Structure 1
């Protein structure tokens, strides 16, 4: 055969690829390749050292006796495949947890054979999902989970609670509620913050909770120094666990709020002038630490404090993790059983809490098991409000002023007048110096009060603002049914 009669290498590669893989695009325009009959999809432009589509295509061509091709032919073929795939239907890819057909939810076990757990209204089973129903995306953070055990009769939950050092039964039921929430792809869940004295096993407990969802390779990590690296780490896994937090900057606090409830990051695509790269993310977040200092009000509404205590009997790491690995299939099976039972319960959604979806989940868990997780969640948020107030002198000053307001009445002034009044109330007759961070203008005071609105409302102090023909105003009032006020001292 003459050289002119030979089929070009790029066409040989393209024909082989289209007969062995399915190509599609996501909403952001990224093209993925999915081996026929297998649920795992890989971006065709991935240049990773292991597991890239380019590598699996080269291996397939070689093993099937088609040939070995140079980089130019491979690049031209992939360019053509990518262009053709941009005309295909849009389909999302998921990490670890995904919605399925007929109200089902899928959990990726991270196995090479693609077997996953399908959670449906009648129960759960293990199967390979239809590639058009679920497309899994895997990264280096995607660990393998064991096959969950059937018919556990709740033994796995008891085993998990024995391994962790939770201080109270209320903490235990909140931890269980969070784990169930992690199996729901569309419900934001608050971030557990594991606290306790030194030696309480906070890092160990955080690893145990994380590895139920992420497998034995799941681990805690230090908080990245900048938001860009944090977003990259969040986008590559499902549960993001940050260890040993001792200080929380405003930027890190805002980033955590976005991670819990969802946000989108847009930045310029590499090697382009006008293209952008979009990254949407909403992930379960877990934190550990003894004390992070002052907690901002917006983050406090998204936290779930879980207190641990020092164990009475110490065990070696090897013994502890050997027992955990042995119990993990039963723990996962019990969690799946409980998830099915909880989702089957119909309850009213509490409307007075910021994380209403998680509050609804707690109410379902209580109805299914008799736990008191919703009451425990309310109490935990109340404790967090106390922490916010104790760390914010402006909030304490507003509460001190509100103590002299008759319930059901309001006081209205401009922001500048309120700043002058609250400053005099704080400094007192002894003219104490103002603390660092005290508002310096009426605009700064107005912004601080907006951020403190939920915290103060939990103490029966309502902040409102508006405008009249004379100008803008801020109104402070006490609710007629205000809760008992804690007298603040400075």
Structure 2
């Protein structure tokens, strides 16, 4: 055959690729390759250590006897494939958990054969998802889960709770509710914060909860020093677990709020003049630590405190994790059984809690099992409000002033007048200096009170803003309904 009659290498590669792979793009324009009949998709430009499409294409060509091709031919073929894929329909890719057809939810087991769990209204089963229904994205953080055991009769939940050192039954039911929330791709869940005395097994308990969803390779990490690294770690996995927090900066606190409820990050694409790429993320988050100091009000609404106690009998790491690994298939099966049971019941959505989707999940769990998760969640939110108030002198001063207002009454002043009023109240003794961080202007005070609004409202004090022809004002109202913790004490 003459040189002119030979098929160019790039055409051989392109024909082979289109015969064995399906190519599509996501909403951000990234092109993915998916072997036909297999649910795992890889970016065609990826150079990751988990295996790139370029590598699997080279291996396929070699094993099928098509030959070994140089880098130039591969690049030209992939350039053509990428250009053709941009005209294909948009399809999302998912990490670990994904919505399916007809109200089903999929859980990626991280297996090479693509077997996944399909949770549907009548039960759950193990299957390989249709590539047009679910496309999985794998990273180094995607661990392998064991095949779950069916018909466990809740035995796995009991095994998990026995291995963890949760202090109360209320804490146990909140941990179960959080695990159920991790199986919901569209439900924001508050971040469990495992606390307790030194030696209570907070890190071990955190690993056990994470590994139910992420497999035995799931682990805790130190909090990154900057938001960019935190976002990169969060976007590459499903559950993000940060260990041994002792201090929380305002930037880290704001980043955690975004992780829990979801946000999109836009950055300039490398080696371009004006192109950008978008990274949207909302992930389950887990934290451990003895004490992180002052908690900001917006983060407090997104936390789920889980208290642990010191175990009475100590065990070696090898014994503990060997028992856990043996129990994990049963634990996962029991969690899936419970997820089906919980989704089958209907419950009203509580309208007074910030994380309304998680509150409804707690209500469904109560309707299915009678555990009392919603009551425990309300109590945890109330405790966190107390923590916020105890760490904020301005909030304490506002509540002290509110005690002088009759129930149902209101008081209106400008922000500057409120600043003088609250400052005088705090410094009733002229020798008492204002604390560091105290508002210095009416604008700063107004901003601080806006941030404290949910916490103060939980204690029966409403802060409202408005404007008249004379200017802007702040209005403080004391409600006639007692705060939740006072209602509970009344009983």
Q: Same fold by TM (over 0.5)?
A: yes
Would the aligned equivalents of 1:403 and 1:485 in 2 still touch at CA under 8 Å?
A: no
Per the alignment, in what secondary structure is the counterpart of residue 265 of structure 1?
strand
Shift of 1:347: 1.1
Deviation sequence 1:367-413 (CA, Å, 0-9, x none): 10010100000000000000000000000000000011001111000
Deviation sequence 1:90-117 (CA, Å, 0-9, x none): 0000000000001000000000000000
Q: Which residue of 2 aligns with 1:343?
A: 343
Deviation sequence 1:115-150 (CA, Å, 0-9, x none): 000000000000000000000000000000000001
Would the aligned equivalents of 2:259 and 2:281 in 1 still touch at CA under 8 Å?
A: yes
Gap regions ≥5 residues in structure 1: none
Summarize the Cα distance change of 1:55–1:485 in structure 2 as closer, same or farther, 3 Å threshold: closer
Would the aligned equivalents of 1:407 and 1:482 in 2 still touch at CA under 8 Å?
A: no
Per the alignment, in what secondary structure is the counterpart of residue 211 of structure 1?
helix
- Partner Cα distance (1:59, 1:126) in 2: 29
Shift of 1:236: 0.3
Q: Which residue of 1 aligns with 2:380?
A: 380
- Partner Cα distance (1:408, 1:60) in 2: 75
Q: Which residue of 1 aligns with 2:6?
A: 6
Shift of 1:22: 0.1
Q: Which residue of 2 aligns with 1:45?
A: 45
Per the alignment, in what secondary structure is the counterpart of residue 117 of structure 1?
strand
Shift of 1:351: 0.6
Q: Which residue of 1 aligns with 2:66?
A: 66
Would the aligned equivalents of 1:408 and 1:480 in 2 still touch at CA under 8 Å?
A: yes
* 1:104 maps to 2:122: no
Deviation sequence 1:1-59 (CA, Å, 0-9, x none): 11111111111000000000000000000000000000000000101234100000000
Deviation sequence 1:445-470 (CA, Å, 0-9, x none): 00000000000000000000000000
Shift of 1:271: 0.9
Per the alignment, in what secondary structure is the counterpart of residue 33 of structure 1?
strand
Summarize the Cα distance change of 1:481–1:199 in structure 2 as closer, same or farther, 3 Å threshold: same
Per the alignment, in what secondary structure is the counterpart of residue 379 of structure 1?
helix
Would the aligned equivalents of 1:268 and 1:274 in 2 still touch at CA under 8 Å?
A: yes
Shift of 1:483: 2.3
Would the aligned equivalents of 2:50 and 2:139 in 1 still touch at CA under 8 Å?
A: no
Aligned-residue CA RMSD (Å): 0.9
Any runs of at least 4 consecutive aligned residues in structure 1 with deviations exceeding 3 A, and if so which? Answer: none
Q: Which residue of 2 aligns with 1:328?
A: 328
For 1:403-442, what aligned pairs fall within 5 Å after superposition?
A: 403-442=403-442
For 1:126-165, what aligned pairs fall within 5 Å after superposition?
A: 126-165=126-165
Per the alignment, in what secondary structure is the counterpart of residue 259 of structure 1?
helix
Shift of 1:482: 2.9
Kindly tell me the number of residue pairs found equivalent between the two proteins.
486
Would the aligned equivalents of 1:173 and 1:372 in 2 still touch at CA under 8 Å?
A: yes
Shift of 1:484: 7.8
Gap regions ≥5 residues in structure 2: 487-491
Q: Which residue of 2 aligns with 1:282?
A: 282
Would the aligned equivalents of 1:222 and 1:243 in 2 still touch at CA under 8 Å?
A: yes
- Partner Cα distance (1:431, 1:289) in 2: 38
- Partner Cα distance (1:49, 1:253) in 2: 32
- Partner Cα distance (1:215, 1:169) in 2: 25
- Partner Cα distance (1:468, 1:482) in 2: 30
